[in-house]
Amino acid sequence: MKTIKRAIISVYDKSGIIEFAKVLQNEFRIEILSTGGTGSLLEKNGIKHTKISEFTNSPEMFEGRIKTLHPKIEGGILFRRGLQSDIDDADKYNIKPIDMVVCNLYQFKEAIEKPGIALDDALELIDIGGPTMIRSAAKNFPDVIVIPSPEYYNEIIDELRKNKGAITEGTRIILAQDVFAIMADYNAAIASYLQKVYNPNAFFPHTMIKVYEKVQDCRYGENWDQKAAYYKDTLSTHGLHNLKQISGKEISFNNYLDIDSCMQILLDFGTENYTTAILKHTSPNGIAIDKNDQLMSVKKAFSTDPLSAFGGIWGINKKLSKEVADFIVNKEKIFLEVIMAPSFEDKALEILKQKKNMIIIEYGDFLSNRNDIYKNFEIRSVLGGIIAQEYDSKPIIKEWNVVSKKKVTDIEKEALIFAYKVSKWAKSNSACFAQIHDDGFYTIGIGAGQQSRVHVVKLAIQKAIEFGHKDNLKNSVMGTDSFFPFPDGLEVAVEAGATAIINPGGSIRDDEVIERADELNCALVFCGKRVFRH
């Protein structure tokens, strides 16, 4: 381990730097070099330092664009202390070793998030000297320690004290690795910004640069013998990393997938009415909305398929009431994996926390950030790469075309849109039967994941009957996520009791399907937008 004798301090984020610099100087007699803004702060706090311009005998240039780009700085960081030719060059050119680089970068990402930032201002926040120094120090980690963030100050102080002014190689390696990750993130932000400014129409860039930061390890992966972790996209302001876990067991890989699906369903339904979404394996098994009563919304969603609600993921779109918590925990004694709401009444939390393993998540104002959440790509991994697409966040109804002789009422139109939204979130092929009640709409049978349209309609009917909704199928409405390739799916739905059906249309047999709808006196709406979910 090599003792630290000289450090350069040049930081944009100055939190904790005074205390850190005082320890370096007062306890370990480390010589400090510094630049203008940081140097002025050190001087005001009685910390002696040598100005970079004095150390290099070269002034700052171009309004500070060049401060540390000098052989005496980069050479002092990069020369290999154990290589004689480097030692000879250092002696020949009077280059003194710099053993520690304390530097964090201009906050480019934070700056460009401000509305209306001018291009010239953004360009000035692209750091040049800082990245050069920390990359140099990271490259030469056997001889130099780099400290790229205030979060490391206390750890470094402890290690200096433990090792009498030296830093272990293990710590040097870890921090060097962090530097290259920081630079990848920094460069990705710049590349993304310039692409948006200069080439906004290139929706999919030639090179996609993404950097992910680990948020937490998962309890396990998709199966028990798989390891997993959740990472956030460092360029995304809003995402699942904004959710707050209040209590419960550690979140698993599958929990995250279900949570993601549940949040997107709630985003689709918004906050106008009380909405309850119950999911299992990323597909809804019960959804209901009520204009006035949260508990009614919960009861109706649960009634769709109480069996599949066991171990499910429950999402609520408004503050969760004591009555809802009491219904779940005490009256029905329902086993939930996860329950989510923007907030909770105090009494509701007391009740829910009786279930020690149940994951309780508070998501705050997440639903108000829909545009920001969906501005990035949806990315899925495939063998050897990824596929990317824009999120399916456009309005679910592209056109409203009643193609049958039978028309629909205003309330039926609302119910059809509700059913179609649910079918969007069920795995393809999907079908959803929905019913109208006094203050809203609720699902009575949902089919998902079938290879044919007619079979998914039959599955939805079967589930509705199994859970006591046979009578509710009469005068119901149905949504299905793509066209009917043959009239048989429509025929089965009408036979079960559906009086109005919505799908996007687009089949080569649309005319046959419309003709059959008229023969069966069923209203048929083509909305022009397919909503497959694979």
What is residue 158's three-state secondary structure?
helix
Residues 289-304: tens digit of each pLDDT:
999 999 999 999 999 9
Are the beta carbons of 393 and 375 closer than 8 angstroms? Answer: no
Residue 382 within a domain:
no
Residue 456 within a domain:
yes
Query: E strands, 199-282, where?
Result: 212-217, 229-233, 244-247, 274-280
Residues paired with residue 480 on neighbouring β-strands, in sequence order? 431
Q: Dihedrals φ, ψ of 142, to 5°?
A: -60, -25
Residues 410, 361 within the same domain: no
SS (H, E, C) 443-491: EEEEECCCCCHHHHHHHHHHHHHHCCCCHHHCCEEEEECCCCCCCHHHH
Residues 256, 358 within the same domain: yes
* pLDDT score for 254: 94
End residue of a domain, out of 164, 198, 232: 198
**Integer Cα distance of 244 and 254 in angstroms:** 18
Residue 221 within a domain:
no
* pLDDT score for 250: 93
What is residue 60's three-state secondary structure?
coil
Residues 324, 418 within the same domain: no
Confidence of residue 193 (pLDDT cuts 50, 70, 90): confident
**Integer Cα distance of 302 and 296 in angstroms:** 10
**Integer Cα distance of 404 and 417 in angstroms:** 17
- Both tokens of 193, joined, read 């910004």
**Count of structural domains within the chain:** 3
Dihedral sign from CA coordinates of 362, 368, 372, 376 = positive
In 3D, which of 348, 355, 373 has the Cα closest to residue 239?
373
- Strands 498-503 and 523-526, by their bridges, are parallel
Q: Please list the active-site residues.
A: 139, 281
Residue 340 within a domain:
yes
Q: Which residues neighbour 414 within 8 Å (Cβ) at sequence distance 6 or greater?
A: 441
Residues 416, 353 within the same domain: no
Residues 13, 146 within the same domain: yes
Section 25-53 average pLDDT: 91
- Both tokens of 302, joined, read 């649960």
Residues 421-453: tens digit of each pLDDT:
999 999 999 999 999 998 999 999 999 999 999
Confidence of residue 163 (pLDDT cuts 50, 70, 90): very high
Are the beta carbons of 98 and 37 closer than 8 angstroms? Answer: no
**Integer Cα distance of 256 and 259 in angstroms:** 5
- Does an H or E element contain 288, and which? strand 283-290
- Provide long-range contacts, Cβ within 8 A and 24+ apart, for 384-388: 386/208, 388/204, 388/208
Residues 359, 406 within the same domain: no
* pLDDT score for 105: 87
**Integer Cα distance of 239 and 373 in angstroms:** 6
The CATH number of residue 405's host domain is 3.40.140.20
pLDDT of residue 63 exceeding 80: no
In 3D, which of 508, 502, 458 has the Cα closest to residue 477?
502
Are the beta carbons of 183 and 121 closer than 8 angstroms? Answer: no
Residues 17, 166 within the same domain: yes
User: Which residues form the domain of 522?
Assistant: 401-526
Residues 146, 273 within the same domain: no
- Both tokens of 186, joined, read 């920094």
Residue 203 within a domain:
no
Amino acid at 323: E
> pLDDT averaged over the chain?
93
Residues 191, 326 within the same domain: no
Confidence of residue 45 (pLDDT cuts 50, 70, 90): very high
End residue of a domain, out of 366, 386, 413: 366
The CATH number of residue 116's host domain is 3.40.50.1380
Residues 319, 268 within the same domain: yes
Q: What's the Rg (C-alpha) of the chain?
A: 31
Section 511-521 average pLDDT: 97
End residue of a domain, out of 142, 173, 198: 198
In angstroms, the first-to-last Cα distance of the chain is 55
**Integer Cα distance of 521 and 98 in angstroms:** 85
Residue 220 within a domain:
no
* pLDDT score for 113: 77
DSSP string, 321-369: PHHHHHIIIIIS---EEEEEES-B-HHHHHHHTTSTTSEEEE-TTGGGG
Residues 333, 420 within the same domain: no
Q: Which residues neighbour 506 within 8 Å (Cβ) at sequence distance 6 or greater?
A: 482, 483, 526, 530
pLDDT of residue 88 exceeding 90: yes
* pLDDT score for 123: 84
Instruction: Give the largest Cα separation in the chain, rounded.
Output: 97
Residues 421, 309 within the same domain: no
The pTM is what?
0.85
- Does an H or E element contain 102, and which? strand 100-104
Residue 182 within a domain:
yes
Residues 110-157: tens digit of each pLDDT:
877 777 788 888 888 888 888 999 999 999 999 999 999 999 999 999
Section 91-96 average pLDDT: 92
pLDDT of residue 66 exceeding 90: no
Residue 350 within a domain:
yes
